Amino acid sequence: MKLTHTRAVFLMVAVTLMWSTAGVITRHLEFARSFEVTFWRAFFTVLSLMVILPFARGRDVFYKIRHAGLPFWLSGLCWSVMFTAFMVALTLTSVGNVLVTMSLGPLLTALIARVFIGHRVPLRTWVAIVVAGVGIVYMYASQLDSVTLLGTLVALCVPIAGATNWTVTQHSHDQGHDVDLMPAVWVGAVISTVVTLPLAFPLQASAHDVALLGFLGVFQLAVPCVFAVRCAQILKAPEISLLQLLEVIFGILLAWLGANEVPSSSVLLGGALVIGALVVNEVIGWRERA
């Protein structure tokens, strides 16, 4: 089926809905905790992508991976950090905290790209960074207990790794060498599986837990990542950034409805400041480019 702009938008909305299921499903695990949660999700992601990639990129995709350049492997490493930190953070703090912290990605990307590859940061983005920073400070000012703070710091690794990933791939593109992100996702899942396996022992997940984490590996990570890469070929970066914010909204609502995890007023207000700053920044940028 030809992917038109309208279909790409609807597919990207479906992608954010699939991404947002991680929080509510994690809350229904029986025995799996921390690194074991990450291991099983990454393991099933590896298996599913081993089936998907040959159809999407050809049968020689794994041969090409062996001969990929340094930017490709750096991208895979960034993906592994994102996969691992995200699931560990969900076991340490609330779904809302994790998702709002992750939404800082576009602003951190602007900062890291400015420092390392010289991308200009417009005034509107600096203002958005300040407003989002105020939202984050307010969100956590009333709940600085050690567990929440640790979970926040772990969650912060996700947008930092994502921003680094974008900067590496953008710099590689500017040099005339595009990084194929779909195989890079598989490499990230492999690294995450290998690193977290020793930390996951003794494995305590029940069959119920393994089934839920298998669902996450396939339908919350592998499939939506493949779809997102396809959408990125049709949609412009500001559109992708705005649509990705739906993950925050969907994730908080699903955790609220499916796991009775009611977000605090500080999370709602602080999160509204962060998302509002991102929306205004992207919309203004979109109009300027148009």
277: left (phi over 0), alpha (psi -120 to 50) or beta: alpha
Q: What pTM did the predictor assign?
A: 0.83
Percent of residues, the chain, with pLDDT higher than 70: 95
Contact partners, residue 241, CB within 8 Å, separation at least 6: 106, 278, 282
Distance CA 22, CA 213 (A): 9
Q: 226-262 pLDDT, tens per residue?
A: 898 888 888 776 677 778 888 888 888 898 889 888 8
Contact 84, 196 (CB under 8 A): yes
Q: 41: which 2 tokens? A: 């999700």
Taking residues 148-159, report their average pLDDT: 86
Q: 16: which 2 tokens? A: 């954010």
Contact 165, 75 (CB under 8 A): yes
Q: Which letter, b or e, does each residue of 222-236 get, where b requires 16 or more Cβ atoms within 10 Å of its Cβ?
A: bbbbbbbbbbeebbe
